[in-house]
């Protein structure tokens, strides 16, 4: 199976919700810092509005979705847009694995929220690497 | 399977199991004969949000009515739950350690918190609400919250 050119990262759009903020922060860390070439951020709101560019990305690239609550809007919207969900992450499940990083705050996440977002981004990066079939250790060595 | 009283407020469906008593805070108590099982009402779990962690006081803990019996951390709040019954904790639901989301998925079934050997259940139950009374209060509270949002 050929590796995709890029992976779409689709976070929750829950404005005013701490877990939504964690999901978006994790998406920014992934797409801007740790896997900028391999990933592409897609705003959920653009998918909801039926934006052609956003739907085009979803049609071309498998997606990693990040859901802030059990409604799982990001995952459902990608599926409804005809996209493929490579892996879906729920912030709550990630928090259960990193209880020391308690997220608080909305407009500005606390230190715990920032750390949780980074831990989540690292998990997303692993999923991206698997999909891209990239041996980063080999590249770096 | 218990029977339920049900109401829809805004877009939310709330169920109240008919076979148990409730504290006004929404903690239920179900008489199982030798022990009283305790858990959260559907309204309380929905209002509190998705559960991340639960800590129940350990087996052997002696409780008076309204003593702190468990702490629940959800995506919205941390809640200290008060016991609706006096006695000794005989059993803690092991699922609270591994899959606390059972509180959200099945609040009247698999999502129970603990079982208490009641010291005087007949006396304690007098101060609790029966299902229809709790249902009326819960509905009123849910409607008030819906007006605010």
Statement: residue A135 has pLDDT above 80: no
Chain B residues close to A70, C-beta within 8 Å? 50, 104
A74: left (phi over 0), alpha (psi -120 to 50) or beta: alpha
Specify if A1 maps to a domain. Answer: no
List, for residues B43-52, the tens digit of each pLDDT value.
Answer: 999 999 899 9
What CATH number is attached to the domain comprising B8?
Answer: 2.40.50.100
List, for residues A79-125, the tens digit of each pLDDT value.
Answer: 999 999 999 999 999 999 999 999 998 888 999 999 999 999 999 99
Specify if A22 maps to a domain. Answer: yes
Between chains, do B75 and A92 touch, taking CB under 8 Å as contact? yes
Q: Any chain A CB within 8 A of the CB of B53?
A: yes
Which stretch of A35-39, A113-117, B49-53, B75-79 has the lowest confidence by average pLDDT?
B75-79
Statement: residue B101 has pLDDT above 50: yes
Specify if A128 maps to a domain. Answer: yes
Residue A48: strand, helix, or coil? helix
Specify if A2 maps to a domain. Answer: no
Total tally of structural domains belonging to chain A: 1
Specify if B9 maps to a domain. Answer: yes
Name the residue with higher pLDDT: A106 or B6. Answer: B6
Residue B36, strand partner residues: B31, B116
Q: pTM for the complete prediction?
A: 0.81
Between chains, do B75 and A18 touch, taking CB under 8 Å as contact? yes
Mean pLDDT of chain A: 91
Between chains, do B75 and A96 touch, taking CB under 8 Å as contact? no
Statement: residue A3 has pLDDT above 80: no
Range of the domain at A89: 7-135
A2-33 CB burial, b ≥16 within 10 A, e <16: eebebbbbbbbbbeebbbbbbbbbbbebbbee
Specify if A107 maps to a domain. Answer: yes
Specify if A141 maps to a domain. Answer: no
């Amino acid at each position: 199976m050929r590796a995709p050119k890029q992976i779409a990262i689709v976070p929750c759009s829950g404005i005013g919700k701490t877990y939504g903020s964690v999901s978006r922060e994790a998406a920014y860390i992934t797409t801007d810092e740790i896997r900028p070439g391999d990933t592409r951020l897609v705003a959920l709101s653009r998918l909801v509005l039926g934006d052609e560019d956003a739907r085009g990305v979803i049609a071309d690239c498998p997606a990693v979705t990040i859901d802030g609550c059990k409604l799982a809007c990001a995952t459902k919207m990608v599926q409804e847009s005809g996209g493929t969900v490579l892996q879906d992450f729920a912030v709550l499940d990630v928090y259960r694995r990193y209880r020391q990083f308690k997220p608080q705050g909305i407009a500005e996440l606390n230190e715990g929220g920032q750390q949780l977002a980074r831990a989540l981004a690292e998990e997303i990066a692993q999923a991206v690497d698997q999909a891209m079939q990239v041996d980063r250790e080999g590249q770096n060595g | 399977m218990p029977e339920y009283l049900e109401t829809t407020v805004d877009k939310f469906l709330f169920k109240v199991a008919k076979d148990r008593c409730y504290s006004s805070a929404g903690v239920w108590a179900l008489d199982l004969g030798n022990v009283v099982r305790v858990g959260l009402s559907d309204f309380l779990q929905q209002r509190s949000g998705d559960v991340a962690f639960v800590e129940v006081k350990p087996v052997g803990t002696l409780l008076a009515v309204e003593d702190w019996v468990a702490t629940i951390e959800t995506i919205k709040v941390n809640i200290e739950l008060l016991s609706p019954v006096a006695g000794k904790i005989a059993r803690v639901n092991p699922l609270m350690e591994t899959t606390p989301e059972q509180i959200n998925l099945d609040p009247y079934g698999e999502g129970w918190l603990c079982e208490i050997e009641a010291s005087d259940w007949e006396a304690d139950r007098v101060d609790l609400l029966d299902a229809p009374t709790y249902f009326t209060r819960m509905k009123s509270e849910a409607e008030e919250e819906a007006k605010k949002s």
